[in-house]
Amino acid sequence: MTARLAILASGRGSNLQAILDAIAAGTLDASVVGVFSDKPEAPALQRVPEALRWARTPKACGGRDAFDATLAEAIAAVRPDWIVCVGYMRILGAAFVQRFAGRLLNIHPSLLPRHKGLHTHQRALEAGDAEHGASVHFVTAELDGGPVIAQARVPVQPGDDAETLAARVLAVEHPLLLQVLRLAAAGRLAERDGRVYIDAQPVFTPRPLESAPA
Protein backbone atom coordinates (compact mmCIF):
# COMPACT_ATOMS: atom_id res chain seq x y z
CA MET A 1 0.00 0.00 0.00
CA THR A 2 1.16 3.52 -0.77
CA ALA A 3 2.73 5.10 2.33
CA ARG A 4 1.05 8.21 3.68
CA LEU A 5 3.54 10.96 4.59
CA ALA A 6 2.92 13.97 6.81
CA ILE A 7 5.65 16.57 6.33
CA LEU A 8 6.81 19.10 8.93
CA ALA A 9 8.68 22.09 7.51
CA SER A 10 9.65 25.59 8.57
CA GLY A 11 11.63 26.79 5.55
CA ARG A 12 11.84 26.66 1.79
CA GLY A 13 11.05 22.96 1.48
CA SER A 14 13.71 21.71 -0.92
CA ASN A 15 13.60 18.24 0.65
CA LEU A 16 9.81 18.29 0.38
CA GLN A 17 10.17 19.08 -3.31
CA ALA A 18 12.54 16.14 -3.73
CA ILE A 19 9.87 13.91 -2.14
CA LEU A 20 7.15 15.30 -4.41
CA ASP A 21 9.36 14.86 -7.49
CA ALA A 22 10.16 11.25 -6.56
CA ILE A 23 6.47 10.48 -6.06
CA ALA A 24 5.64 12.05 -9.42
CA ALA A 25 8.42 10.08 -11.12
CA GLY A 26 7.18 6.82 -9.62
CA THR A 27 10.40 6.20 -7.67
CA LEU A 28 8.78 6.57 -4.23
CA ASP A 29 5.56 4.70 -3.45
CA ALA A 30 4.08 7.35 -1.19
CA SER A 31 1.69 10.26 -1.04
CA VAL A 32 2.01 13.51 0.87
CA VAL A 33 -1.18 13.81 2.92
CA GLY A 34 -0.32 17.11 4.60
CA VAL A 35 2.39 19.73 5.07
CA PHE A 36 2.50 21.25 8.54
CA SER A 37 4.40 24.33 9.63
CA ASP A 38 4.97 26.60 12.61
CA LYS A 39 5.50 29.45 10.13
CA PRO A 40 2.47 30.44 8.03
CA GLU A 41 4.77 32.23 5.58
CA ALA A 42 7.04 29.19 5.01
CA PRO A 43 7.68 28.72 1.27
CA ALA A 44 7.40 24.95 1.76
CA LEU A 45 3.64 25.31 2.13
CA GLN A 46 3.36 26.67 -1.39
CA ARG A 47 4.70 23.44 -2.84
CA VAL A 48 1.42 21.58 -2.21
CA PRO A 49 -2.25 22.42 -2.87
CA GLU A 50 -3.97 24.60 -0.28
CA ALA A 51 -6.04 21.67 0.99
CA LEU A 52 -2.85 19.97 2.20
CA ARG A 53 -1.47 22.99 4.08
CA TRP A 54 -1.63 23.51 7.84
CA ALA A 55 0.12 26.35 9.64
CA ARG A 56 -0.17 27.89 13.08
CA THR A 57 2.17 29.85 15.31
CA PRO A 58 2.80 28.72 18.87
CA LYS A 59 1.67 32.15 20.05
CA ALA A 60 -1.68 31.78 18.28
CA CYS A 61 -2.19 28.41 19.97
CA GLY A 62 -1.43 29.72 23.44
CA GLY A 63 2.11 28.46 23.89
CA ARG A 64 4.38 25.54 23.17
CA ASP A 65 2.41 22.72 24.79
CA ALA A 66 -0.88 23.85 23.28
CA PHE A 67 0.78 24.22 19.88
CA ASP A 68 2.21 20.70 20.05
CA ALA A 69 -1.18 19.30 21.04
CA THR A 70 -2.96 21.15 18.22
CA LEU A 71 -0.33 20.05 15.72
CA ALA A 72 -0.57 16.45 16.90
CA GLU A 73 -4.34 16.41 16.42
CA ALA A 74 -4.03 17.89 12.93
CA ILE A 75 -1.44 15.30 11.96
CA ALA A 76 -3.42 12.41 13.42
CA ALA A 77 -6.43 13.52 11.39
CA VAL A 78 -4.68 12.77 8.10
CA ARG A 79 -3.74 9.23 9.25
CA PRO A 80 -0.08 9.26 8.26
CA ASP A 81 2.12 6.19 8.23
CA TRP A 82 5.21 8.36 8.70
CA ILE A 83 5.85 11.91 9.90
CA VAL A 84 8.91 13.43 8.24
CA CYS A 85 10.68 16.57 9.50
CA VAL A 86 12.43 18.42 6.68
CA GLY A 87 13.93 21.64 7.96
CA TYR A 88 11.43 21.84 10.81
CA MET A 89 13.00 24.29 13.22
CA ARG A 90 11.03 23.66 16.40
CA ILE A 91 11.90 21.09 19.04
CA LEU A 92 9.02 18.64 19.35
CA GLY A 93 7.82 18.10 22.89
CA ALA A 94 8.03 14.76 24.68
CA ALA A 95 4.27 14.13 24.54
CA PHE A 96 4.22 14.71 20.77
CA VAL A 97 7.21 12.43 20.22
CA GLN A 98 5.71 9.71 22.39
CA ARG A 99 2.41 9.83 20.50
CA PHE A 100 4.10 9.17 17.16
CA ALA A 101 7.10 7.18 18.40
CA GLY A 102 8.63 4.93 15.80
CA ARG A 103 7.05 6.89 12.94
CA LEU A 104 8.93 10.20 13.26
CA LEU A 105 11.90 10.84 10.95
CA ASN A 106 14.20 13.85 10.67
CA ILE A 107 16.97 14.84 8.29
CA HIS A 108 19.79 16.78 9.93
CA PRO A 109 22.73 18.49 8.17
CA SER A 110 25.61 16.91 10.06
CA LEU A 111 27.16 13.53 10.78
CA LEU A 112 25.35 12.88 14.02
CA PRO A 113 26.18 12.71 16.86
CA ARG A 114 28.49 15.55 15.79
CA HIS A 115 27.01 19.05 15.62
CA LYS A 116 23.51 18.64 16.94
CA GLY A 117 21.34 21.74 16.68
CA LEU A 118 21.90 24.78 14.47
CA HIS A 119 24.73 26.29 12.38
CA THR A 120 26.18 22.87 11.63
CA HIS A 121 28.22 23.88 8.58
CA GLN A 122 30.04 26.71 10.34
CA ARG A 123 30.63 24.52 13.37
CA ALA A 124 32.10 21.75 11.21
CA LEU A 125 34.52 24.27 9.71
CA GLU A 126 35.46 25.69 13.10
CA ALA A 127 36.09 22.17 14.42
CA GLY A 128 38.45 21.44 11.54
CA ASP A 129 36.43 18.45 10.40
CA ALA A 130 37.77 16.61 7.37
CA GLU A 131 34.30 15.52 6.36
CA HIS A 132 30.75 16.66 6.92
CA GLY A 133 27.39 15.43 5.72
CA ALA A 134 23.79 14.62 6.58
CA SER A 135 21.95 12.11 8.75
CA VAL A 136 18.42 10.71 8.73
CA HIS A 137 17.32 9.54 12.16
CA PHE A 138 14.32 8.59 14.23
CA VAL A 139 13.12 11.49 16.39
CA THR A 140 13.23 11.18 20.17
CA ALA A 141 12.70 13.76 22.89
CA GLU A 142 16.45 14.48 22.83
CA LEU A 143 17.46 17.14 20.30
CA ASP A 144 18.86 15.37 17.22
CA GLY A 145 19.49 12.40 19.50
CA GLY A 146 17.43 9.56 18.04
CA PRO A 147 18.97 6.46 16.44
CA VAL A 148 20.58 7.22 13.08
CA ILE A 149 19.31 5.25 10.08
CA ALA A 150 21.57 6.46 7.28
CA GLN A 151 24.27 9.04 6.58
CA ALA A 152 25.85 10.71 3.58
CA ARG A 153 29.38 12.07 3.79
CA VAL A 154 31.06 14.87 1.84
CA PRO A 155 34.64 16.13 2.09
CA VAL A 156 35.41 19.50 3.60
CA GLN A 157 37.55 21.19 0.96
CA PRO A 158 40.22 23.88 1.33
CA GLY A 159 38.64 27.30 0.98
CA ASP A 160 35.18 26.13 2.00
CA ASP A 161 32.91 28.52 3.83
CA ALA A 162 29.60 27.70 5.45
CA GLU A 163 27.71 28.47 2.22
CA THR A 164 29.77 26.25 -0.10
CA LEU A 165 29.77 23.43 2.43
CA ALA A 166 26.01 23.73 2.88
CA ALA A 167 25.49 23.43 -0.88
CA ARG A 168 27.60 20.28 -1.01
CA VAL A 169 25.65 18.74 1.86
CA LEU A 170 22.29 19.68 0.33
CA ALA A 171 23.23 17.76 -2.82
CA VAL A 172 23.40 14.54 -0.78
CA GLU A 173 20.50 15.32 1.57
CA HIS A 174 17.83 14.72 -1.05
CA PRO A 175 18.97 11.26 -2.22
CA LEU A 176 19.70 10.22 1.38
CA LEU A 177 16.21 11.13 2.55
CA LEU A 178 14.62 9.36 -0.40
CA GLN A 179 16.72 6.24 0.24
CA VAL A 180 15.33 6.07 3.79
CA LEU A 181 11.77 6.87 2.74
CA ARG A 182 11.82 4.03 0.24
CA LEU A 183 12.71 1.65 3.08
CA ALA A 184 9.94 3.14 5.20
CA ALA A 185 7.35 3.01 2.42
CA ALA A 186 8.18 -0.63 1.72
CA GLY A 187 7.63 -1.59 5.35
CA ARG A 188 11.31 -2.47 5.80
CA LEU A 189 12.18 0.15 8.46
CA ALA A 190 11.40 0.11 12.17
CA GLU A 191 12.69 1.36 15.52
CA ARG A 192 12.57 -0.65 18.73
CA ASP A 193 14.17 0.09 22.08
CA GLY A 194 16.35 2.83 20.64
CA ARG A 195 17.72 0.77 17.76
CA VAL A 196 17.12 0.86 14.02
CA TYR A 197 15.86 -2.30 12.33
CA ILE A 198 15.91 -2.87 8.57
CA ASP A 199 14.26 -6.03 7.24
CA ALA A 200 13.74 -7.05 10.91
CA GLN A 201 17.53 -7.06 11.47
CA PRO A 202 19.23 -4.63 13.89
CA VAL A 203 21.42 -1.96 12.31
CA PHE A 204 24.58 -1.23 14.28
CA THR A 205 26.07 1.47 12.05
CA PRO A 206 24.20 4.00 9.86
CA ARG A 207 23.66 2.94 6.28
CA PRO A 208 25.75 4.92 3.78
CA LEU A 209 24.26 6.76 0.85
CA GLU A 210 24.02 4.16 -1.88
CA SER A 211 24.91 6.46 -4.78
CA ALA A 212 26.28 9.91 -4.10
CA PRO A 213 25.99 12.66 -6.74
CA ALA A 214 29.08 13.25 -8.85
157, 143, 171: which is closest to 14 by C-alpha? 171
> Rounded CA gap, 140 and 78, in Å?
22
Distances (CA, A) of 100 to 41, 173, 202: 26, 23, 21
Which residues make Cβ contacts (< 8 Å) with residue 143, sequence separation at least 6?
Answer: 91, 116, 117
Q: DSSP letter for 50, please.
A: G
- Extended strands (E) in the chain: 3-8, 30-37, 53-55, 82-86, 104-108, 131-138, 148-155, 189-192, 195-198, 201-203, 207-208
Q: Is 119 a catalytic residue?
A: no
Q: Which listed residue (108, 132, 137, 174) is catalytic?
A: 108
- Extended strands (E) in 61-168: 82-86, 104-108, 131-138, 148-155
> Rounded CA gap, 94 and 54, in Å?
21
Q: DSSP letter for 164, please.
A: H
Catalytic positions, written as ranges? 108
